[in-house]
Amino acid sequence: MGNILDYLDWRGDLTFEQSPFNEVDNLILACFSYLDLDERAEVKNGNTLSVEELFAAFSRREMKKDLKAESAFLQNTPVLLEKMACAERFRKCTVGGFVNEILSSQAQQFAAVTIGLDDGTTYISFRGTDDTIVGWKEDFNLSNGVVPSHRKALGYLETHGTYIQSMLRIGGHSKGGNLAMYAAMQCSDILQEKLLSVYGGFYYLTPEQKKEKTHGLIEKRPFAFPWFASDIGAYAAFFTKDESLAKTVWKNLLNALIKIGDEAGFTPVCYATDDQKKAHMEILWIKTNFAAQWGLNTITTLELLRDALPDTMDGVRKLIEEMPGNEFHRA
C-alpha cells in the first residue's frame, strides 16, 4: 500500500501548475509540522528558508537523532523533509513561523509552522499530540471542551493569517486537525474568506472519487469508522454548504448507533450475577471509546448541521436504510 513517501517519489517531479494541490499534499504538509525545528532560528520570528535550504541546514547528527526517536512521526519526518527537498513540487516552498510551546502548568502542547507554496497559496500546519506527558494530558482534556492549544491555534491563525496576503489552507494531523477546525470556525470573517480548502469530506468519498483525486494512490483503502470523522466532515459540509455531504455525515453517525429493526440499539444482556444472585446487565457492544467519540462527534455535528438531521425516527430509518450492510461498524 502506497504512502506519502511513495507519493513524493511518484509525483514529486510535478509542479503545482502541472498538477494542482490535492488531498495527499494536504496530508504531507499536515505531517510536516512534526519536524523538530526547535533549534532552527532561520524559520522563526519572521525568518524563512526554502525546503531545500532547510534540509541542507540540518546536520547529520540531528537527522540521526530524529531517526532514533521512539515516536513514529519523529522517525519519519527527516525522511519526509529529504524527499520534499528533492521534489520539484516542494523544494522551493518556504518554511517559517515555527512555534513550539509546552506549558506543563496549563497542560498545553502546541506547535505550528507556515509553508508558502509556489502556487501562490499558504498552508498553516498544526502539530498533533507528540510523545510528551503534557501532550497526552491535553488529549484527555479535549473531552471537556476548549483547551489552551485551541486558543493558541486561533491566535496563530489570526496573527499570521492577517499579514499573509495569499489565500490560505490550514490543516494538521490528529489533534492538529482538531485545532485547525477550531481556528477556522472561530476566526474573523475576513480570514474565513481567505480560507481556500476544507478537506474533511475526503473520508466520505467513494473509492472512484478517491482514486481520481489522489491519482490512484488511494483507492480501495477503506476508512473503517467513517463516523469518527463526523466533526470534520460536518465542518466541511457547513463551510461549503454541501447538503449531500451533510446527509452523508448524519447517515454514518446515526448508522453507527442505530440498527435497522432495533432502533433503540440497546438490548442489555446479563453478563454476571453477584452473591445475592442479582443480575448485572450490560450493553456489550458499547465501549468507552465508542461512547466518548460518538458523543463528541454528535455535539459538533448538531452545532453545525442540526437542520440536516431527520425530524422523525421514520426519517432516520429511511436515511440509514441506504447504507450498505458491509458499512455497518461498531467500535
DSSP 122-152: EEEEE----SSHHHHHHHHHGGGS--HHHHH
Say if residue 21 is exposed, middle or buried (CB neighbours under 10 Å; 0-12, 13-18, 19+).
middle
Fill in the amino acid letter for 271: Y
Q: How far is CA 74 from CA 131, 144, 259, 272, in A?
A: 9, 28, 41, 45
Q: In the chain, where are the structural domains located?
A: 4-197, 208-331
Please give the Cα distance from 122 to 114 (Å, whole number): 7
Position 104 scores a pLDDT of 82
The three grid cell numbers given for residue 257, joined into one nine-digit string? 448507533
Q: Are 97 and 22 in contact (CB under 8 A)?
A: no
317's enclosing H/E stretch is helix 313-321
According to DSSP, residue 88 is labeled T
* Total-model pTM: 0.70
Per-residue pLDDT of the chain (331 residues; tens, 9 = 90+): 568 888 899 889 999 999 989 888 998 999 999 998 988 888 998 899 999 999 988 865 566 555 455 555 566 788 899 999 999 999 999 999 999 998 888 888 899 999 999 999 999 999 988 777 887 788 777 767 788 899 999 999 999 998 888 999 999 888 888 888 889 888 998 898 888 865 666 667 777 777 776 666 555 555 666 777 788 788 888 888 889 999 999 988 888 877 655 555 566 777 676 666 777 777 766 666 677 778 878 888 998 899 999 998 888 888 888 676 544 444 3
